[in-house]
Amino acid sequence: MNGKRDKLHSILLKFTAVFFAAVMLTSAAGFTVSAQKYSADDFVHAEGSKIIGTDGKELRIQGMALGNSVWGNPSLPDTSHHNEKTYKELSKMGFNSVRFYINYGLFEDDKKPYKYKQSGFEWLDKNIKWAKKYGMGIIINMHCPQGGYQSTGGGMELWTDKSNQDRLTALWKAIAKRYANEPTVWGYGLINEPVVPMKDTLEQTYEQYNKLMNRITAAIRKVSPYQAVFVEGVGCAVKSDGEREYEYFTPEHSFAKINDKNVIYEFHKYDAFYFTHQNTDWAGTKGITMTYPSDVVVGENVVNGWVGCISASKKSSASGGWSYFESQTISSSNKANIVTPVVTASNLGEGGTAYFDDITLTEISPKGKRRTLFTADFSDGVLNSSPWSEDGSGVSEYYDGDGNNAKGCLKISGTASMYVQNFKRFEMKKGYKYIVSGYIKSDSSSPEIGMDMSLSENIFSFDKDFLEECFMPYVKFSEEHNVPLYLGEFGVISEGFENGRNGVGWVRDMISICRKYNIGFDYHVYNEYSFGLYDAYPKGKNEELAKLFEEVL
């Protein structure tokens, strides 16, 4: 009897061990996932042009990006970047997911390829746990793959060194295998903003990207049959001389052609770039600011780039050596419908200078009512302009000495030929007149204030209509191929929220457009100096932006 009891006890122990092993599977690093058998319906997935959630209903992705300091090429997670409270806060605002940026260096060292560091996986584990607790999903995005960060065109070694592609594919397979049974992981963003080297033909250029996206997807599918793949189109190709090709890479020629029904097609939008990235050195916009909405022309098909110009004449002298200049009026015609205020200086020579201030473009209605379209008083130290030089000589810069009415003005110096400082472009309305004015201080007679005129078609000012038009190529792609879209990144630099520039209005309209066309979206980014909801978490919160999210999400 005791023998039978012992045998029964042994069977029960084995059954219990097998039972608990079947209920919970634990990885070597300690990440615990359910062993429940799932089907595709238990995961976020694509169905035609729709994204379906874990509840079986159509899902509208409302995400916030977690940057994780990936641009600094970390070898260990930045655990100060965010914490569990972040997920609680985002969930309360109305976000249902995060786009979780990763750098391959969190998982693998170049000197030890294929040997994965548990610290990176453990950080992911922790974030998945937090997301699950607050009812959110995670989209894991490879922001910096082996071979280098793609967006700036410095990651060419991903495409020229096959070993980097091998490593990236293997890493994605390892990640997908680990989380294949975790519905909190909504999917995998294969490569952020891919930029490829130019091949002999544009078709060959595209195919190198298409081939790698299909290879990675196939590797993921071997271990993760149900989670979505987020694939982003090629942004541009870099030629051997550094020049970039953009025009070919429309959605039809940029998105990978993957034979998989569970693919979500991702694109990014920062239109207009001079607004969303205004007044910053690293983006090449230092000195340029914009307000949303405005009459500034941001989209057009140029028919004739230069029709003519009109110069302002001296009207009076002011104090401190300044003189006031004002032009005659001009009107729209069948030859010109765009006007641009400009300042010029020619042959100033070494040491020669010219100063400009209070450059103003005024619109006059048929009834004589005046409206200021543009003014550059340089009081805040920005130029709001872009230069052109006939022979490359000369420089324009902000001068912090005495301007016409306040401190600061524009200084042009050292020109050996014609130097032109262009300002913003505006569409001329029929029946309206335009006049430019401003102040000059110089010992030379060459400096001038004027207006350049050109002719364009399909003109868009910086407003919601323009933003919506920027979505149309992707909407058309979605409709023609019956696939879902995801706006993986959109956002405004902190300067876009200052001085009434209305960054929050831009964000509101972008979300409105996404909802109109059933496009999921992800705001860039939660915690990053100059671009984040926080400048340095938990400090520097953009309260105006946070209030908007709470209102519209």
118 part of a folded domain? yes
Q: What does the alpha-carbon distance between residue 206 and residue 216 come to, in Å, rounded to a whole number?
A: 16
**Same domain membership, residue 109 and residue 196:** yes
pLDDT means per 10 residues in the chain (553 residues)? 42 34 37 70 97 97 97 94 98 98 98 97 98 98 97 95 98 98 98 98 97 98 98 96 94 96 98 95 87 96 96 93 97 97 96 96 98 90 83 93 88 96 96 98 94 98 98 98 98 96 98 98 96 95 98 98
**Same domain membership, residue 298 and residue 264:** no
9 part of a folded domain? no
CB neighbour list of residue 287: distance below 8 Å, 6 or more residues apart = 279, 382, 383, 384, 385, 398
- Provide the domain limits for residue 251: 54-268
**Same domain membership, residue 182 and residue 130:** yes
**Same domain membership, residue 138 and residue 186:** yes
Q: What does the alpha-carbon distance between residue 351 and residue 353 come to, in Å, rounded to a whole number?
A: 6
7 part of a folded domain? no
Would you state the pLDDT for residue 284? 85
Would you state the pLDDT for residue 35? 61
120 part of a folded domain? yes
Q: What does the alpha-carbon distance between residue 350 and residue 416 come to, in Å, rounded to a whole number?
A: 8
Would you state the pLDDT for residue 386? 77
**Same domain membership, residue 163 and residue 90:** yes
| Greatest CA separation for the chain | 119
**DSSP secondary structure string, 38-56?**
P-GGGS-EEETTEEE-TTS
CB atoms within 10 A of CB 497: 18
Would you state the pLDDT for residue 287? 82
Taking Cα atoms as reference points, which of 239, 143, 148 lies closest to residue 198?
Answer: 239
**Same domain membership, residue 434 and residue 302:** yes
Q: What is the DSSP secondary structure assignment for residue 442, as one 8-state letter?
A: E
CB atoms within 10 A of CB 126: 15
Would you state the pLDDT for residue 32? 56
Work out how many domains the chain is built from and give that number: 2
What value, to the nearest 5°, has the Cα angle with vertex 112 and ends 111 and 115?
160
Instruction: Give the residue carrying structure tokens 């980097």.
Output: 164
What value, to the nearest 5°, has the Cα angle with vertex 262 and ends 256 and 263?
30
- CATH classification at residue 235: 3.20.20.80
CB atoms within 10 A of CB 260: 15
**Same domain membership, residue 250 and residue 134:** yes
Would you state the pLDDT for residue 405? 84
What value, to the nearest 5°, has the Cα angle with vertex 455 and ends 369 and 296?
50
Q: What does the alpha-carbon distance between residue 191 and residue 200 come to, in Å, rounded to a whole number?
A: 23
**Same domain membership, residue 241 and residue 348:** no
**Same domain membership, residue 427 and residue 336:** yes
**Same domain membership, residue 131 and residue 176:** yes
**Same domain membership, residue 191 and residue 340:** no
Q: Which of 437, 461, 485 is the last residue of a domain?
A: 461
CB atoms within 10 A of CB 48: 12
